Amino acid sequence: MKNVKNIMKIEKFKKLKGNEYEVIIDSKSVILYDDIIVKYNLISKKNINPSELTKIIKENDDLKSYYLSIKYITKKLRSEKEIEDYLKKNEFSEDIIKNTIIKLKENNFLNKKTYIKSYINDQINLTLNGPKKIINNLICLGFDEGEILEYLNTIDKEIFNEKIKKIIGKKIKTNHNYSTFILKQKITNYLINLGYEKKDIDKYINQFEFSSNDVISKKASILLRKIEKKETDINKVKNILKSKLYSQGFSLDEINEYLKKL
């Protein structure tokens, strides 16, 4: 004879959003998916024992983890690590997360090659990032460098070279504040931070023509006004100006050319 104390009464079902139901069991609320309700034939049952309910809740949590992961993936492709981090944030157990990852792989929702290919293509088409930054980003997402290079090495290197040249050209065109020397340093550092190799940057940056004429005139005019407030001797003024312009990265040729106009 069953122990009456171990029998729990299924009292009520209430439809929620999506495919979930609130099930009232012994005056307590349990949220279950319709798949689970159908599988365990809960609609026609009047009672349930605690061990069976524990099993049902565990299976429902597995299903919830899986459904949430699919919803997360449909917004954009995700890596295995992103899914794991997302499920941990939603407080699923390690066992449930592990089972979810296995199921997602079995149903081809987690495909490393597809993800890597899509990610690299998006980086090329939507960002200025270079190869090294793309590789580092993917490593942070849980991929091995070998897996990344397998696809990245198929990309025409000229695509990244054109990006380098475009960035250099734009930076030169919009330069209003820096000497040629400083500007080259800033462009080089900017491109390195974007993930480009220094040897590639040097190769293309030296193909561009840099002119600091407008910049040196602007900087020198400001400096000159300050110097002339304290010094009246023209030779001393020129020497001080020359020293200050040189410290700001202007070449001696540029400075001497400017000083001829004074």
User: For every one of its 262 residues, what pLDDT tens digit does the chain have, with 9 covering 90 and above?
Assistant: 445 567 889 999 999 988 999 999 998 999 999 999 999 999 888 899 999 999 999 999 999 999 999 999 988 899 999 999 999 999 999 999 999 999 999 999 999 999 999 999 999 999 999 999 999 999 999 999 999 999 999 999 999 999 999 999 999 888 877 888 888 999 999 999 999 999 999 999 988 877 666 777 777 777 778 877 787 778 777 788 778 888 887 777 777 777 777 6
**Topology of the domain comprising 112-152:** Arc Repressor Mutant, subunit A (1.10.10)
**Contact between 10 and 42 (Cβ < 8 Å):** yes
Calpha distance 54→193 (Å, rounded):
52
Calpha distance 116→135 (Å, rounded):
10
Q: Does 1.20.1290.10 match the CATH number of domain 4-106?
A: no
Spell out the SS3 assignment of 200-217.
HHHHHHCCCCCCCHHHHH
Please check whether the two domains, 4-106 and 112-152, share a CATH topology.
Answer: yes
Domain locations along the chain:
4-106, 112-152, 157-205, 213-259
**Contact between 171 and 205 (Cβ < 8 Å):** no
pLDDT at 1: 42
**Contact between 98 and 109 (Cβ < 8 Å):** no
